[in-house]
Amino acid sequence: MFIVNSYLLAVVFCFITMLCWGSWGNTQKLAAKSWRYELFYWDYVIGMVLFALLIAFTMGSFGSEGRPFLEDIAQVSGKAVGSILLGGVIFNASNILLSASTSIAGMAVAFPLGVGISLVLGTIVNYIGAPAGNPVLLFIGVALIVVAIICNGVASGKVGGEKKAGANKGIILAAVAGTLMAFFYRFVAASMDLENFAAPAAGKVTPYTAIVIFSLGVLASNFIFNTLVMRKPFVGEPVSYKQYFAGNFKTHLVGMLGGAIWCLGTAFSYIASGKAGAAISYALGQGAPLIAAIWGVFIWKEFKGANRQVYTLLGIMFVFFVAGLGFIIASGN
């Protein structure tokens, strides 16, 4: 299987994670023209599972290092499986709420707030579970990102009228999503031997097995979580499975692409965690709000018509996000 053997390459993988985690929401925005997010989310999860299998049977099976995917999954312990599945369930609950927030308040609000909260809490949780890197630099970086999140929250609160009413509900959903999301990565990381991907301890898994089991946990829990949200949506009328199956192929494909993009980023984060450590790998990947905010502000024009003060706050947010990510990278050297 493919293994990252240098910190520099691990950072590159983490930046790809950041791009993927910050960009998959564009597929939801594209599908939203004719497709409710609850229906989109089924395609998203299916795309995640299919891509997880694809990467497991390619990068996770070829090469001279480590156990290939089928050999690895055959020896995984029940404890490791349970830990990964729990991570998948927690992630799915949080991501459904994040998707709801995105549909209500937009990418520029939902991602910086929800994923930003997840970054702060998740970095602390993962560092406690598997300490790696310079904690002073790491948490200075996290503190700078907290400032960026506050700036985004103030900016989103200054948009007026009907947009503000919708943003308020989106902010609440994003905050709950971010709090939940902070904990999923630790359960997955606990199942992997972060010290030795080439020869993991018995019962532990490689990143490729982890992403497959994780995706299956998301899929299984989706029958509960998303069915509930379809029947009791946060906004609008209930939607049915009949409506889902009536969707056209192109619409389904857009949702699956979103799941594949997210899965690529997550797989690369798991792969990078062996060299960078779980806390740094997670924190860098969760720089995704910066990417999502760029999409939301400059491409989707989600703050169109806002005053100069709002755009000044957004500019400060970008500066602090970049500075925070710089400190996080430096903490691993």
Question: Is 156 inside a domain boundary?
Answer: no
Return the pLDDT at 94: 94
- Sorted by sequence, the CB contacts under 8 Å of residue 250 that are 6+ apart come out as none
pLDDT digits (tens, 9 = 90+) for 310-321: 899 989 989 998
Number of independent structural domains in the chain = 1
In a domain, 83, yes or no: yes
Q: Tell whether the model's pLDDT for residue 164 goes beyond 60.
A: no
Give pLDDT, residue 289: 74
Q: Which helix (H) or strand (E) holds 219?
A: helix 207-231
**Average confidence score pLDDT of the chain:** 90
In a domain, 74, yes or no: yes
Is the CB of residue 150 less than 8 Å from the CB of residue 212? Answer: no
Whether residue 30 is contained in a domain is answered as: yes
Q: Please, are residues 135 and 280 in contact by the beta-carbon 8 Å criterion?
A: no
Amino acid code (one letter) for 237: E
Q: Taking residues 8-14, what's their average pLDDT?
A: 95
- Give the separation between CA 98 and CA 92, rounded to whole angstroms: 10
Within a domain: residue 301?
A: no
Residue type, 195: E
User: How far is CA 218 from its chain centroid?
Assistant: 13
CA-CA-CA-CA torsion sign (205, 208, 211, 216) = negative
pLDDT 10s digits, 187-236: 999 999 999 999 999 999 999 999 999 999 999 999 999 999 999 998 88
Q: Quick check: is 251 in a domain? A: yes
160 pLDDT more than 70: no
In a domain, 208, yes or no: yes
* 77-133 per-position pLDDT tens digit: 999 999 999 999 999 999 999 888 878 877 667 777 787 788 889 989 999 998 988
Confidence of residue 162 (pLDDT cuts 50, 70, 90): very low
Average pLDDT, stretch 38-46? Answer: 96
Does the residue 327 lie in any domain?
A: no
Domain of 180, in residue numbers: 7-133+162-289
Distance separating alpha carbons of residues 226 and 220, to the nearest angstrom: 10
